[in-house]
Amino acid sequence: MTDSATLARVFASFQTSPAIASLALFDVAMEPDGAVRASMPLGAQQERFPGSNQFHGGPVAALIDTIGDLAVAVAVDGPVPTVNLRIDYLKPALAPHLTASARVRRLGKSLAVTDIEVTDATGALVALGRGTYSTRVG
């Protein structure tokens, strides 16, 4: 089991990426069951079109990939590359923010599989993701 200090250190390294920093993630935490969680606000760059109060699918995909990667990175103590990513959009993702929660389902010698759930501020499930990541740090 990893701790919140490891999560904070690994997340700080993620924040050096301009793409990840642009997501403006907040409330990054580890759940009691080991899942990694973070929220993303709706900003102009994430909006489907001006005034829609809906997230565009691209930033939702970036959130899913980032949190799935972070869950594995905490387990292996460093950033890892994405091998495959699948996303199912279930309903419109509405403002003011989304919260993603990632659980590592399998952590092997070369690959890890994560399941990611994305909910809106009301707790409604808006997207599901499954990510496969290399476990080789770098």
| Domain annotation for the chain: domains and CATH numbers | 4-134 (3.10.129.10)
Query: Is the C-alpha dihedral spanning 9, 18, 86, 38 positive or negative?
Result: positive
Mean pLDDT of 26-33: 95
Contacts of 92 (CB under 8 A, 6+ apart): 54, 126
Chain Cα centroid distance, residue 28: 10
- Give the integer Cα–Cα distance in Å for 66 and 25: 10
Q: What is the mean pLDDT of the chain?
A: 95
Examine the pLDDT at 2 and tell me if it is beyond 80.
no
Backbone phi and psi for residue 74, each to the nearest 5 degrees, phi listed first: -65, -40
Is the predicted pLDDT of residue 1 greater than 60, yes or no? Answer: no
3-state secondary structure of 26: strand
User: Is residue 114 predicted with pLDDT exceeding 50?
Assistant: yes
Above pLDDT 90, what percent of the chain?
91
pTM value > 0.85? yes
Mean pLDDT over residues 63-85, rounded? 97
**Is pLDDT above 70 for 34?**
yes
